[in-house]
Amino acid sequence: MHCSTSDLSVVPVPQAKDMLSELLRTGAQKLLSQAIQAEVASWIDSHQHLRDEAGHRQVVRNGFLPERTLTTGVGPVAVKQPRVHDRRPPGEKEPFTSKILPPYLRKTKSIEELIPWLYLKGVSTGDFSEALAALLGAEAPGLSASTVTRLKGVWEGEYQAWSQRSLEGKEYVYVWADGVHFNIRLEEDRQCILLLMGATRDGHKELIAIADGFRESEQSWLGLLLDCKARGLTMAPKLAVGDGALGFWKALRQVFPTTREQRCWVHKTANVLDKLPKRLQPEAKEKLHDIWQAATRADAEDAFDLFVATYEGKYPKATECLSKDRVELLVFYDFPAEHWVHLRTTNPIESTFATVRLRTRKTKGSGTRGACLTMVFKLVESAAKHWRLLNGCKLLADVVEGIVYVDGVKKDAA
């Protein structure tokens, strides 16, 4: 099996790109069914005032239409549409035609990532019809505000079930933690979304938990970790990767004290360079790269000393920022070299939200925490389809068993 990593990104607003193949991937049939059922429910509700002499509704749902097969680039896909029964006289009947799945549709576009993406960019439910019409074309009218509201309700239920799922028996060898700031409409006391991602023993990456937090505080992270433990996550990860500024570390030591800590080099590099003049930043960045790209810990230590000696005289804040996490920045040398690319940064989280992460002020509006968390969940769920196994995934068993690695190489038992 080929084990490799990939640059993960949430699909941005599509332009000419046809999203059908993405929609029809694993699990997307369920999404399409949810959207059509929401559209049908909205149609029936809009006709609920039509009643016969006995007070019975004249426009009702009545089972399903015959199953249809769409021919796509990923193969035939079967779909079923709810049947709408209109009991009115022939001259008064109003046939229902799905705008999402018209009778002769052969190609469509995905709303799997589009609705969450638009929501996180600040588009309100009432504006979805106009936004989707511009982006999706003729089929967009089926996604009215009421349809979108119903669909979001279904997704929120999925998120609630997922956030309460059992984690009993789960074993994550590595975990990545980060506080992700979005351009979303959270309550004033909620500053970011906390995300915890893990790598299983067989090398698969999984999202473990999502929660809203107060400025990435220790208390917020403690609540997230304790919730995971209460749901059955009792096996401590071997290594955690994250930004040194997170309250995550104090919380981690309370819940999983045996887990080792690796600071993210991307965050650290940005923080150190921020304390140097712009004219020196290119050269300083190269010197920082010399540290974490060194083949051995000894070489990394030498490069570390050189950086400190070069800049501590005039720029002590920069060298102090680097030196305070010296031990935690070099922990990855005690793990298989094949895993280093995954362990030196929080890239699995960073790249997933590359197109929606904005460290700017929040959009002003009346969003709810539940809706925001749900949309983040749906984005990650979609991105997860593209996640690949970790490099050297077979070596994860060595890490679990506690086999010693020195400079990325298994220590000779002799």
Q: How confident is the model at residue 189 (pLDDT cuts 50, 70, 90)?
A: low
Tell me: pLDDT of 13 over 50: no
**Phi and psi at residue 184, to the nearest 5°:** -125, 175
Q: How far apart are the first and last CA of the chain?
A: 30
Q: What is the spatial distance between Cα 97 and Cα 99, in angstroms, rounded to a whole number?
A: 6
Helix (H, G, I), strand (E, B) or coil at 374: helix
Q: How many CA atoms lie within 13 A of 398 on its CB side?
A: 18
Residue percentage of the chain with pLDDT more than 90: 43
Q: What is the spatial distance between Cα 59 and Cα 260, in angstroms, rounded to a whole number?
A: 62
> CB-based contacts of 66: which residues, under 8 Å, 6+ apart?
none
Q: What is the spatial distance between Cα 249 and Cα 241, in angstroms, rounded to a whole number?
A: 10
Inter-residue contact 147 to 39 (CB < 8 Å): yes
Q: DSSP assignment of 23-39, as one string?
A: HTSTTHHHHHHHHHHHH
Cα angle for residues 211, 118, 110 (degrees, 5° grid): 105
- pLDDT, tens digit, 9 for 90 and up, residues 270-307: 999 999 999 999 999 999 999 999 999 999 999 999 99
The identity of residue 375, as a single letter, is M
DSSP state of 209: E
Q: How confident is the model at residue 336 (pLDDT cuts 50, 70, 90)?
A: very high
C-alpha of 40 from chain center: 30
Q: Angle 297-311/316-323 helices, nearest 10 degrees?
A: 160
pLDDT confidence of residue 145: 65
Residue percentage of the chain with pLDDT more than 70: 71
Q: Nearest Cα to 179, choosing from 7, 353, 10, 321?
A: 353
Helix (H, G, I), strand (E, B) or coil at 196: strand
Q: What is the mean pLDDT of residues 225-252?
A: 94
pLDDT confidence of residue 93: 82
Tell me: pLDDT of 80 over 60: yes
- pLDDT, tens digit, 9 for 90 and up, residues 134-150: 545 544 555 566 767 77
Q: What is the mean pLDDT of residues 317-339?
A: 97
